[in-house]
Structure 1
Amino acid sequence: MTLQQVTFGLATTWSGSITYVLLATLGYTISLAIYRIYFHSLSRFPGSKLAAATYWHETWYDVFKDHSYVWKIKEMHEKYGPVIRTNPDDVHIHDPDFFDELYTLQLDKWEWWTRGFAVPTAGGMTIKHEIHRKRRGALNPFFSKASIVAEMPVIQEKLAVMCARLDKIAGSREVLDLEAVYLAVTTDVLTQCSYGWTYDYINNAEWAYRWKVVNAGGRASASIVRSFPLIGAVVRSMPLSLALKLVPPVGFMKSWMQRVGVQVKKIKSDPELMASIKIEKRRKDTIFAQILGSDLPEHELSDQRLIDEGVLIATAGSETTAWAITITTYHIMKNPTVLAKMRQELATVEILEGNPVASWTALERLPYLTAVIKEGVRMGGGMLSRLPRIYDKPIQYKQWTIPAGTPVAMTPHLVLIDENVFPQPRKFDPERWLDRLEEGVTTSRLDKYIVAFGKGSRNCIGIHLAYAQLYMCVAAMVQRYDLELYQTNDSDATPTRDLFTAGVKLGSQGIRVIVHDKNEKPGAGV
């Protein structure tokens, strides 16, 4: 037999083997799709057959179609009703009145969903309800309303620096990225309160613009890693120097984790400090000391777990709050009537000498400001990603019995723009929240539908700090400045992409403004 014949024979064998593998793979894929559509425990639930057959349906929209699966889910609900399958293994419900009922159950997270994030041992990413309950319990005192009220001087300090910088810029025609300005404030506040140190973005020439870009890139990668976990594993294993060059969001996060890790090790290596942390029952100075001084078992106090916790709290809490403040400010400055009413109401509140703004506790008593804040939070969009949870018992929704152990999700953003709850949902209308005033406190029948921070035991742990910054940042900006919009319109402020939280159109330059002192150019807000 000649060499040519041997080579031809081997090639034929390999070709045949590959053909058999491909045919087997195709046969398995088709069989699996048929099973999922017709024989799966969720087969009787309505929805797209393609969504039920394969995860690639979701991947197509969230990885290759600009993170748009949230809008496909909305479209499927309009076609099939309030209960649908969004992929082979989960069920999605859209019914604003069911949100509280679902998320106040003792729910686990879905492991498939959390693998898109790089902090698996953080409380917010914890799978099991019972483990989450203990981790959350260790931190609850740190973020209680009383604790946040005690941190008001930190917020006042950062806002004073912001205002000093804006005072110098006012009238100069310098163009600012408004979200970067607020992100500098929220990141410095959150890290100062949580870590005891900050990146000092508030004094940075570009505010927090680079951090904004990096954060958005990191959030955009979650759906990619969820669909292609090997990519996430490879990128996360890169050395810091290589990651900073090839994947800046990952490199930046690695450097953040590294700095947090140094602080954790420093605390742990100080016997005297550790002894005092264990003895003192008061709220600690940092979240790391708070966790180390808790009753959590030793295996819950590893360096990596503390790093994960610190990184998730600081990154998620700063970005979401900054975006909500940005959107609120944008709509105020676009609506002269709203701006005038706010200034009239804010003029009734005392600002203590040396502070740039009144305290949160004073501001939250103002009915119109409260209505504006609620509408701003709603318009900001909350979480665009659905929130899948698993219950160990069947869940009954109307005539549907969802089997125990099934991932069940709702999407906060779809609640916040539901036309049946909020007529003209894309219109900024604070008046919709002023339907009830009880004993000087603004309440509303709509309050139950403010789901931007989640509900139940897994709601946002930093909700009080977020609201404190919302009230104080918005009040400071409104009382002191007019903002002229620069090459910016509603498309830059309307959530269109699911980056876990809100993402706007690709190519947006952000919400850009020119700052004027409110006495310098009345009516500059556009």
Structure 2
Amino acid sequence: MGFMDKLGVVIPRAFFTLKDFLVLLIWLALLYLLLLGVYRLYLTPSAKFPGPKLAALTFWYEFYYDVWQEGQYTWKIRDLHRKYALTVDIISRVCFGASYDCLENKDFAREWHAGMVSSSRMSHMLRQFPWIHEVLNRFPKIGPAVAREGASADRERQMKLKQNIADVVDRRNRGEKPSDGAFTIFDSMLDADVPASEKSFSRLISEAQTLTGAGAMTTANALDTTFYHLLANPNCLNRLRGELVSSIPDPVAIPSVAQLETLPYLTAVIHEGLRLSKGVPHRFARVSPDVPYQYDGITIPHGVPVGMSFVDFLENPDIFPDPDTFDPERWIPFDAPHVRQRRKSLVAFGGGTRMCLGINLAWAELYLTVAVVARRLGDRMKLHEVVFERDVKVTVDGFNALTSRESKGLRVTIGAKTEV
């Protein structure tokens, strides 16, 4: 007598066999998926929202465009509807009280840029599968082994940030202030009257990652975009240089930000470059916690997240005609009613209480860098083998604005010095 025959003495044949049990599990799983699909398509509060039924049915729709197609969901939504070393040096000093001095590095610390780009390209995978982040934290050597280019640089960047935070904490424990006595963000955070959990090492690391990423990539992208379009449009560059030469007779002098903000064409160029750089193109979710609200005849229940990309504002043809064209003239005169309306739609820094923390620092970086570089080097700079679609055009929403993987970056040559 076999084992199953003996078992049949205890469990009557009327009970499930293993095969029957597996078949039942499959049918229950299919029934669950069917009921879940019916709920998502017809019963959920967002069921009446317009859009593809497949997107309402499964998050794999978003996964396909953001992970498999690499950061394309922002542009898919639109279809359904309708440089770095400088900025790293500045944000590192503001955060930690000491600059990374990337500008002193012979290759301008390219590994920092590679690390931040690598982190951005992984953002959608981490968003779809949050547990991957914990795995990478526990086993940091896995990332470079399985990820694409830049993963090793990103790991080194993460280690550098951890060391920076440890140095700040150690310095404060010794009762010392920053070397130059300057304000730093993390000293202020540690001085804040908040619960200890808000000052934990892991929390500070997360803040460091956010601040250095947001304070470096976004402004650097805006500078890249601005200088590309200036060099690709000599008439715009010549007009800007004429204004700068007139206002800054001594090219060695560095004017104040307040002085530069009075220059109309410089202001127009910076606003247009910022618009075309896209800011942070990813969708930001907002939730009404207690009351429903109306949009275009549709009631959105409270608690339902709604996301929208800044790109939809920045490239709205009703506000910015011919939105893909670099046209500083659209910002002149700056106080005209139609320009004031455009300024409200320049949401590269976000808006409301959640707008960019470093907006004033970013404006100062943009004004000073564009003015000084264009004044001193603008007549000697030329684009070097730059292909707009490959090297400059934003084609990937990696939370940050990213170009093609084949991009060689914005490269320029600088000719001999002139007298002016």
**What letter matches 1:300 in structure 2?**
E
2:324 to 419, 423, 426: 426
Q: Which residue of 2 aligns with 1:176?
A: none
Aligned partner of residue 394 in structure 2, secondary structure: coil
2:247 to 345, 349, 354: 349
1:256 to 160, 165, 170: 160
- Residues 118-172 of structure 1: per-residue CA shift (max 9 Å, x gap): xxxxxxxxxxxxxxxxxxxxxxxxxxxxxxxxxxxxxxxxxxxxxxxxxxxxxxx
Evaluate the alpha carbon distance shift between residue 479 and residue 436 of structure 1 in structure 2; reply closer, same or farther with a 3 A threshold. closer
Q: Which whole-Å CA distance do the structure 2 matches of 1:399 and 1:315 have between them?
A: 38
Unaligned runs of 5+ in 1: 7-11, 79-181, 277-282
Superposed counterparts of 1:495-510, under 5 Å: 495-510=394-409
1:47 to 43, 48, 51: 51
Q: Which residue of 2 aligns with 1:479?
A: 375
Q: Which residue of 2 aligns with 1:365?
A: 262
Q: Which residue of 2 aligns with 1:450?
A: 346
Q: CA deviation at 1:335?
A: 0.7
**What letter matches 1:326 in structure 2?**
D
Q: Which whole-Å CA distance do the structure 1 matches of 2:333 and 2:299 have between them?
A: 36
Q: Give the greater-gyration-radius structure (CA).
A: 2
Deviates more, 1:287-296 or 1:445-454: 287-296
Q: Which whole-Å CA distance do the structure 1 matches of 2:47 and 2:322 have between them?
A: 35
1:333 to 220, 231, 239: 231
Q: CA deviation at 1:402?
A: 1.0
| Higher relative contact order (Cα pairs below 8 Å, separated by 6+ residues) | 1
Q: Which residue of 2 aligns with 1:95?
A: none
Evaluate the alpha carbon distance shift between residue 251 and residue 76 of structure 1 in structure 2; reply closer, same or farther with a 3 A threshold. same
Q: CA deviation at 1:2?
A: 6.2
Equivalent pair of 2:392/2:407 in contact (CA under 8 Å): no
2:206 to 288, 308, 326: 308
Question: What percent of counterpart residues are identical?
Answer: 34
Q: Which whole-Å CA distance do the structure 1 matches of 2:142 and 2:40 have between them?
A: 42
Q: Which residue of 1 aligns with 2:9?
A: none
State TM-score, norm by structure 2.
0.87
2:29 to 25, 29, 32: 25
| Root mean square deviation, CA, Å | 2.8
What is the total number of aligned residue pairs between the two structures? 400
**What letter matches 2:396 in structure 1?**
R
Q: Which residue of 2 aligns with 1:199?
A: 100
Superposed counterparts of 1:96-495, under 5 Å: 182-239=83-140, 243=143, 247-248=151-152, 250-270=154-174, 272-273=175-176, 285-350=183-248, 355=253, 357-392=254-289, 393-437=291-335, 444-481=340-377, 482-491=380-389, 492-495=391-394
Equivalent pair of 2:284/2:308 in contact (CA under 8 Å): yes
Deviates more, 1:321-330 or 1:310-319: 310-319
- Residues 334-370 of structure 1: per-residue CA shift (max 9 Å, x gap): 1111011101111132477965x32222111100000
Q: Which whole-Å CA distance do the structure 2 matches of 1:204 and 1:266 have between them?
A: 27
Q: Which whole-Å CA distance do the structure 2 matches of 1:399 and 1:455 have between them?
A: 24
- Residues 195-222 of structure 1: per-residue CA shift (max 9 Å, x gap): 1112221111211322111101101111
Q: Which whole-Å CA distance do the structure 2 matches of 1:233 and 1:303 have between them?
A: 16
Aligned partner of residue 134 in structure 2, secondary structure: helix
